[in-house]
């Protein structure tokens, strides 16, 4: 089957130029760009007045952070021009181990969205985490035989790599031996320590937020991924990378993006659009979202409109506003007049499906389980939330344990925080206090709590904390709010406690209902409590975090006591 797209204007990502030409497609591949006639094709589509460019590539994304399955993500991202992604199944691997990775591979097979996999490098993320699995180089090795596995994902244990930890080094050596890409994750690493890190062959980093930091890395051979997601937005801080010569070693990515943002703002097209609105040449922004990520990952024949390349083609009504009309993926018209054409969802094996839907292995939370044993007034280490940031500070505050509420002081916004291990039934839980969330009543809980995704609960009283924790346990994961012993809003995520097979608009509505309800019970517009909660248990982001075994001082990488 040959299809001719005629009378269009093609964006050439090799020359940064616009060229009037026709494009001849045979099955999945472009076989000609030039003066081809109607008689050379079985089907002719007139694209007069339209601009054609390659399909967009997201250089780094966690599908689980969209809370959608690969099928759900494909349905919402294809209309925005994304035809290829490089996904790191780090989150589901921390819950389910190798079966979780295999599940994501199976559930992305045959989609019109080309899903490539980067193997998680840090499961668990730190020694302070209690994840559902521990993955070694030996565990990952067989997965490189999978067709769509392209390398090793973000190596966030840079202290281990720099220090020569054999178990960490082995993962990188294994990937490089197979000539695969190895992505980095080393914010603010500079100078000789950066050199040591890069000497292992770390090819990219998406954690840069500072221009000088990014330029040092590019000058030393790395690709920098300019990230613009829901939580972390780095485009403005890295805007200089859209200029010469830096833009030739820069890639666009989203990392984490929520369904509501995908629906309202878009995907990679949103990053391209924002760059263009700030004065970047469309050719430069689109090159960073097409051919350059493909070249970095070694994805041959993807990312350009040229003979021999896969026919991933976007048809624009208007280039400057990134207004996408039609999308071709592997030669098939998958989006027509902005509407995605229906396609079947892949089906995972019964064994893998059973594993990811039975991710809770913890006892019911009984009364007293979350109690802090103390009397009188004690000075405690309290996690202090920084509005709009994933960073937290340590506050040392007097906490009154004789106030009838086990130290919780709603008027002073000192709430109780608990992280409960849910993978192995250990009964471990870390309990302490947090300031800056703003709840005036009730309790909130979620299983999206990076990176180990244990059950995290924040509340104004123990009874509602117990209620919401047990509800989440019963539904197999997700987010919920309890008020006066009743569940008043919820967002079930039954797949590993991270994802749902509902479509994006449904999960976005449930998410918005949660956000509206927490506003009703005291949280102000400057705080996104479920986002803050998701990262308050991640002991790699300064300064004070809560694990299943208590507080962690991230600055000194050590456990600390609740009481000062």
pLDDT tens-digit profile, the chain (564 residues)? 999 999 999 999 999 999 999 999 999 999 999 999 999 999 999 999 999 999 999 999 999 999 999 999 999 999 999 999 999 999 999 999 999 999 999 999 999 999 999 999 999 988 888 999 999 999 999 999 999 999 999 999 998 999 999 999 999 999 999 999 999 999 889 999 999 999 999 999 999 989 999 999 999 999 999 999 887 889 999 999 999 999 999 999 999 998 999 999 999 999 999 999 999 999 999 999 999 999 999 999 999 999 999 999 999 999 999 999 999 999 999 999 999 999 999 999 999 999 999 999 999 999 999 999 999 999 999 999 988 777 899 999 999 999 999 999 999 999 999 999 999 999 999 999 999 999 999 999 999 999 999 999 999 999 999 999 999 999 999 999 999 999 999 999 999 999 999 999 999 999 999 999 999 999 988 888 898 899 899 887 889 999 999 999 988 889 999 999
CA 494, CA 533: separation in Å to the nearest integer?
A: 19
Helices (H), 366-503: 462-475
Helix H or strand E segment including 72:
helix 70-77
CA 529, CA 64: separation in Å to the nearest integer?
A: 19
Same domain, 31 and 107: no
Q: Does 475 fall in a domain?
A: yes
Same domain, 194 and 75: yes
Among 454, 434, 515, 488, residue whose Cα is nearest residue 258: 515
Question: Token pair of 168, please?
Answer: 């960490």
CATH number for the domain including 147? 3.20.20.140
Q: Does 353 fall in a domain?
A: no
Same domain, 130 and 103: yes
CATH number for the domain including 17? 2.30.40.10
- Is residue 162 classed as helix, strand or coil in its secondary structure? helix
Question: Token pair of 61, please?
Answer: 């994304």
What is the dihedral sign for C-alpha 357, 359, 361, 363? negative
The domain boundary, picked from 289, 321, 342, lies at 342
Inter-residue contact 422 to 447 (CB < 8 Å): yes
The domain boundary, picked from 288, 322, 342, lies at 342
CA 82, CA 305: separation in Å to the nearest integer?
A: 15
Q: What is the pLDDT of residue 532?
A: 86
Q: Does 364 fall in a domain?
A: no
Same domain, 73 and 211: yes
Inter-residue contact 295 to 280 (CB < 8 Å): no
Q: Does 347 fall in a domain?
A: no
| DSSP-based helix, strand, coil % in the chain, nearest 5 | 30, 30, 40
**Partners of 233 in the β-ladder:** 228
Same domain, 295 and 316: no
Give the count of domains, the chain.
3
CA 32, CA 26: separation in Å to the nearest integer?
A: 9
Same domain, 89 and 188: yes
Inter-residue contact 34 to 68 (CB < 8 Å): no
Same domain, 29 and 144: no
Q: Does 352 fall in a domain?
A: no
Q: What is the pLDDT of residue 149?
A: 98
Q: What is the pLDDT of residue 230?
A: 82
Question: Token pair of 185, please?
Answer: 């994750």
Residue in this structure with the two tokens 């494909």, named with its chain if needed: 74
CA 14, CA 37: separation in Å to the nearest integer?
A: 25
Q: What is the pLDDT of residue 390?
A: 78
The domain boundary, picked from 285, 315, 342, lies at 342
Q: Does 355 fall in a domain?
A: no
| DSSP code string of 493-532 | -TBTTTBBSS-HHHHHHHHHHHHHHHHHTT--TT--HHHH
Question: Token pair of 56, please?
Answer: 């967009």
Same domain, 287 and 313: no
Q: What is the pLDDT of residue 59?
A: 98
Domain that holds residue 456: 377-560
Q: Does 48 fall in a domain?
A: yes
CA 212, CA 207: separation in Å to the nearest integer?
A: 13
Same domain, 202 and 231: yes
Q: What is the pLDDT of residue 523?
A: 93
Q: What is the pLDDT of residue 510?
A: 95
Which distant-in-sequence residues (6+ apart) come within 8 Å of 278 by Cβ? 239
Q: What is the pLDDT of residue 388?
A: 73
**CA dihedral angle for residue 428, residue 90, residue 500, residue 67, rounded to 10 degrees:** 100
Q: What is the pLDDT of residue 484?
A: 98
Same domain, 43 and 137: no
Same domain, 413 and 430: yes
Same domain, 320 and 230: no
Among 303, 327, 301, residue whose Cα is nearest residue 314: 327
Q: Does 351 fall in a domain?
A: no
CA 45, CA 47: separation in Å to the nearest integer?
A: 6
- Pairing, β 323-329 against β 313-318: antiparallel
Among 331, 285, 340, 284, residue whose Cα is nearest residue 305: 331
């Amino acid at each position: 089957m040959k299809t001719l797209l005629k009378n269009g204007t093609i964006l050439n990502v090799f020359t940064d130029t616009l060229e009037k030409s026709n494009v001849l497609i045979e099955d999945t591949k472009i076989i000609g760009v030039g003066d081809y006639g109607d008689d050379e094709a079985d089907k002719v589509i007139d694209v007069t007045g339209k601009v054609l460019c390659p399909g967009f590539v997201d250089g780094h994304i966690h599908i689980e952070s969209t809370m959608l399955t690969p099928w759900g993500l494909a349905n919402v991202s294809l209309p925005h021009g994304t035809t290829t992604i490089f996904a790191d199944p780090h989150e589901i691997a921390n819950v389910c181990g190798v079966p979780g990775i295999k599940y994501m591979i199976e559930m992305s097979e045959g989609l019109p969205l080309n899903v490539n996999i980067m193997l998680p490098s840090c499961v668990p993320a730190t020694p302070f985490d209690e994840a559902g699995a521990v993955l070694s180089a030996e565990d990952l090795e067989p997965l490189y035989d999978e067709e769509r596995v392209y390398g090793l994902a973000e190596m966030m244990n840079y202290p281990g790599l720099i220090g020569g930890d054999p178990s960490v080094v082995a993962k990188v050596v294994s990937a490089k031996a197979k000539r695969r890409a190895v992505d980095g994750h080393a914010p603010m690493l500079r100078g000789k320590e950066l050199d040591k890190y890069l000497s292992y062959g770390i090819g990219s980093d998406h954690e840069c937020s500072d221009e000088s930091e990014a330029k040092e890395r590019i000058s030393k051979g790395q690709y920098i991924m300019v990230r613009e997601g829901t939580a972390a937005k780095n485009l403005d801080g890295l805007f200089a990378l859209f200029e010469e010569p830096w833009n030739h070693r820069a890639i666009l990515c989203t990392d984490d993006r929520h369904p509501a943002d995908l629906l309202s703002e878009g995907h990679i097209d949103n990053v391209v659009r924002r760059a263009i609105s700030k004065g970047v040449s469309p050719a430069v922004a689109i090159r960073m979202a097409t051919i350059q990520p493909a070249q970095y990952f070694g994805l041959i024949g993807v990312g350009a409109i040229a003979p021999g390349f896969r026919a991933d083609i976007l048809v624009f009504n208007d280039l400057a506003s990134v207004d996408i009309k039609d999308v071709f993926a592997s030669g098939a018209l998958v989006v027509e007049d902005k509407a995605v054409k229906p396609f079947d969802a892949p089906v995972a094996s019964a064994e893998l499906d059973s594993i990811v839907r039975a991710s809770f292995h913890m006892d019911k939370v009984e009364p007293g389980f979350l109690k802090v044993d103390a009397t009188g007034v004690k000075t405690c280490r309290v996690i202090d939330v920084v509005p709009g940031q994933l960073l937290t500070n340590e506050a040392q505050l007097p906490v009154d344990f004789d106030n009838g509420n086990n130290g919780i002081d709603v008027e002073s916004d000192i709430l109780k925080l608990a992280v409960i291990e849910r993978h192995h039934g250990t009964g471990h839980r870390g309990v302490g206090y947090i300031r800056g969330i703003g709840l005036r009543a009730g309790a909130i809980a979620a299983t999206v709590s990076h990176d180990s995704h244990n059950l995290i609960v924040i509340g104004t009283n123990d009874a509602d904390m117990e209620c919401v924790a047990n509800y989440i346990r019963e539904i197999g994961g997700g987010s919920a709010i309890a008020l006066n012993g009743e569940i008043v809003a919820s967002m079930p995520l039954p797949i590993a406690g991270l994802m749902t097979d509902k479509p994006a608009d449904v999960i976005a509505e449930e998410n918005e209902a949660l956000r509206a309800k927490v506003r009703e019970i005291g949280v102000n517009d400057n705080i996104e409590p479920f986002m803050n909660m998701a990262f308050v248990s991640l002991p790699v982001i300064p300064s004070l975090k809560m694990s299943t075994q208590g507080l962690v001082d991230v600055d000194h990488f050590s456990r600390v006591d609740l009481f000062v």
